[in-house]
Amino acid sequence: MSWIKSENLSIISGIVHGFSNRGFKGGLEEAASYFGLSRIFTLNQIHSSNVFVIKDGFRQESEQKGDAIVTSLKDMGIGVFTADCQPILFVDRTASVVAAVHAGWRGTLSQITKTALLEIEKNFGIEPSSVYVVLGPSIGRCCYEVGEDVASLFMNKFDNWKSYLLKKNDSKYILDLKEANRIALVEEGVKDIEIINICTKCDSGFHSYRRDGKGVGKQLSFVGLV
């Protein structure tokens, strides 16, 4: 397996993390063992703004649905799967809480990063200004074309849409997922944001739904407290 690391998260003691490329074959147990974790927990992702908070007494069920996970439990990683969507990892400055977020255009539109930060603050008393955030490999602004149906949703909801939505022609737009999520994080008070500038469609070392179509594999992005 090959893993991409965040520069910021790599200097924080007490956590492990990684963004996989297509060398990852989907074995969560193998990945957990490799990083010294008992397991890596993932959700049934549904392109929502649902945030799942894991606390003491947690019991896994097979159909837990959502697109973000927050926890303070040690020895257990949390992760999301992507194949163009934006994976986002959160770690607070004291390495006591972590979060993993899956943000496609629907999650970005519904401000799933804002919801994750609210859950971190509500459940653990940690403000956004004390959280490091990393935006991992995803489809880039070079390749993410959307129709007017999607573009109009952002235009109608946000005043700042021109910062990340560029008109290509009469019916097509370019959506910059990284910039849209970066702006949303800044607006919530996050100060430390790292962006890993890899486009999953351009780079053949990554799975890409836009490039390879239905049945494509997926990258795992995870973080865990140790």
CA-based nearest residue to 225, from 99, 106, 104: 99
What is residue 86's predicted lDDT score, i.e. its pLDDT? 98
Write down the residue that tokens 């992760």 correspond to.
Answer: 79
With 80 as the cut, is the pLDDT of residue 183 above it?
A: yes
Q: β-strands 98-103, 165-167: how paired?
A: unpaired
pLDDT reported for residue 158: 97
Query: Which pLDDT does position 214 carry in this prediction?
Result: 87
Write the pLDDT tens digit of every residue in 24-65.
887 899 999 999 999 999 999 999 999 999 987 666 666 789
What are the extents of the domains in the chain?
3-138+192-225
Write the CA distances from 134 to 38, 140, 213, 223, integer angstroms.
Answer: 23, 15, 27, 11
Q: Which residue has the higher pLDDT, 61 or 112?
A: 112
Give tens-digit pLDDT for 161-178: 999 999 998 899 999 999
For the residues 108-129, what does the mean pLDDT come to? 98
The answer to whether 87 touches 80, Cβ cutoff 8 Å, is yes
Q: Taking residues 129-144, report their average pLDDT.
A: 98
The answer to whether residues 102 and 138 touch, using CB atoms and an 8 Å cutoff, is no
What does the pLDDT average to over 114-133?
Answer: 98
Q: Under a CB-based contact definition with an 8 Å cutoff, are residues 9 and 89 in contact?
A: yes
Q: What fold characterizes domain 3-138+192-225?
A: CNF1/YfiH-like putative cysteine hydrolases (3.60.140)
Please tell me which residue, 55 or 149, carries the higher pLDDT value: 149
pLDDT for the residue numbered 64? 87
- Tell me the pairing of strands 68-71 and 15-20: unpaired
Instruction: Tell me what pLDDT residue 63 has.
Output: 73
Mean pLDDT of 108-137: 98
How is 4-58 classified by DSSP, letter by letter? E--HHHHTSTTEEEEEE-TT--S-HHHHHHHTT-SEEE--B--SS--EEEE-TT-
Q: Round the average pLDDT of the chain to a whole number and report it.
A: 95
Q: Which residue has the higher pLDDT, 62 or 113?
A: 113
Looking from the CA of 111 toward its CB, the CA atoms found within 13 Å total: 14
